[in-house]
Amino acid sequence: MAVRVQEADFDIAAEMKLLTRGRTDIGAIATFTGLVRGGAEGGGIAEMTLEHYPGMTEDELARVEAEAQRRFDVQATLIIHRVGALKPGDNIVLVMAASRHRKAAFEAAEFLMDYLKTRAPFWKKEQKADGTAEWVDARESDTEAERRWSSGAR
Amino acid sequence: MKICYFAWVREKVGRSEDVLDVPGHVVTVGDLMQWLKTQGAEYEAAFAQAKVIRAALDRAHVKHDAAIGSAREVAFFPPVTGG
């Protein structure tokens, strides 16, 4: 189990090696990577700044990870979330879930992302190419994605 | 009491944190937002749409009706947008 909040980029292959080092009980790893989207039309995004609540972020990510471990048969999980100034195409977030079989790995990775998006205290601000800047609004679809894990729909 | 602000709440208040003496009638997180609104134009602007603002007590999410009790740190911020 590991949670990291950092300005630096991450190396997916290196993280995967670390997660499985010395272990032979893992048969499947699902990874999800979130990237900065460039945005549409002429008002595309020049830069995105990720703000967070130091201390609470780590606590909240650890709670999300513990919940995933409780719900799914996973051997190991990893969450890395970047903060600071990012450019379109840059990595933002990495989630890994390692399990004996693929189903738990896929489900745990999706669960980690759905919970992280509605609970971890991060905020995105987009700087547009035209010089304006805007805080990104929370999406109702993210809240719905989180809710379905408790609605019994799955 | 230490009060922290993040994202557009921080920008509207004009700083990232305050240490304030809060009157005794402020019991819940919601009470605190209503009281802050009376503390100057910047707070009035920041908490004008108090309903959409989220709160944490000692770094854990809480609802507006949560009692502040002996919490050392209260935080106000918009709905989160990470991931």
Say yes or no for a CB contact (<8 Å) between A124 and B79: no
C-alpha distances (whole Å) from A99 to each of A46, B5, B68, B79 are 38, 39, 41, 32
Set out the domains of chain B in order of their start, with CATH numbers.
Answer: 2-77 (3.10.20.30)
Say yes or no for a CB contact (<8 Å) between A121 and B6: yes
Q: What angle do CA A115, B79, A46 make, to 5 degrees?
A: 95
Surface of A (50-109) touching B: CB under 8 A: 50-53, 55-56, 59-60, 81, 92-93
Task: Determine the number of helices (DSSP H) and then strands (DSSP E) in chain B.
Answer: 3, 5
pLDDT band of residue A139 (cuts 50, 70, 90) is confident
Residue A42: per-residue pLDDT: 47
Residue A150: per-residue pLDDT: 83
Q: Reduce the secondary structure of A15-71 to three states and give it as a string.
A: HHHHHHCCCCCCCEEEEEEEECCCCCCCCCEEEEEEEECCCHHHHHHHHHHHHHHHH
The mean pLDDT of chain A is 93
List the single best residue of A50, A53, A126 to mutate versus B (max B Cβ within 10 A).
A53
Distance of alpha carbon B60 from alpha carbon A82, whole angstroms: 21
Averaged over A105-112, what is the pLDDT?
98
The fourth-level CATH superfamily of domain A2-147 is: Molybdopterin biosynthesis MoaE subunit (3.90.1170.40)
Share above pLDDT 70 across residues of chain A, in percent, rounded to a whole number: 95
Q: Closest approach of chain A CAs to the CA of B77, in angstroms?
A: 9
Say yes or no for a CB contact (<8 Å) between B82 and A53: no
Flag whether residue A35 sits within 8 Å of chain B, measured between CB atoms.
no
pLDDT digits (tens, 9 = 90+) for B19-72: 999 999 999 999 999 999 999 999 999 999 999 999 999 999 999 999 999 999
Domain positions in chain A are 2-147
Say yes or no for a CB contact (<8 Å) between A34 and B83: yes
| Residue B55 DSSP SS3 | strand
Distance of alpha carbon A81 from alpha carbon A90, whole angstroms: 12
Contacts of A33 (CB under 8 A, 6+ apart): A12, A91, A93, A94, A95
| Closest CA in chain B for residue A113 | B83
Flag whether residue A4 sits within 8 Å of chain B, measured between CB atoms.
no
Say yes or no for a CB contact (<8 Å) between A123 and B60: no
Averaged over A116-133, what is the pLDDT?
94
pLDDT for residue A10 is more than 50:
yes
pLDDT band of residue A65 (cuts 50, 70, 90) is very high
